[in-house]
Copies of this chain bind each other. A is one copy, B any other.
Amino acid sequence: MAEQLSDRGKRILEAVIEDYIATAEPVGSRTVTRSHALALSPATVRNVMSELEEMGFLISPHTSSGRIPTDKAYRLYVNSILEVKHIARDNREEIQRRCRLAGKDLAQVLQETSRLLSSTSSYMGVVMAPRPAANVFRQIEFVKLAGRRILAIMVSQNGTVQNRLIQTEEEIPPEDLVRMANYLNELLEGLTIAQVRERLLEEMQSEKVRYDSMMSRALCLSEQTISTEGPELFLEGQANILDQPEFADAAKMRDVFRAFEKKSTLLDLLDRSMHADGVQIFIGSESHLLNMEGMSLITSTYMTGKDTVGVLGVIGPTRMGYGRVIPIVDYTAKLISRLLEAD
Interface residues of A, Cβ cutoff 8 Å to B: 102-106, 109, 138-139, 141, 143, 145-149, 151, 153, 155, 157-159, 161-167, 224, 238-239, 242-243, 247-250, 253-254, 257-258, 261, 305, 342-343
Contact = CB atoms under 8 A, between A and B. Distances in A.
Copies of chain A in the complex: 2
A151 B254 CA distance: 41
A22 to B, nearest CB: 21
18 contacts: A102-B165, A103-B167, A104-B164, A104-B165, A105-B162, A138-B145, A145-B158, A145-B159, A146-B342, A151-B161, A159-B165, A238-B257, A239-B257, A239-B261, A247-B250, A248-B250, A249-B250, A253-B253
A305 B103 CA distance: 33
A161 B107 CA distance: 13
Nearest to A254: B242
Contact of A103 (B102, B146, B147, B224): B224
Contacts of A151: 155, 159, 161
Contacts of A161: 151, 153, 161, 163
A157 B163 contact: no
A165 B106 contact: yes
Contact of A143 (B109, B138, B258): B138
A341 to B, nearest CB: 8
Contacts of A239: 254, 257-258, 261
A243 B254 contact: yes
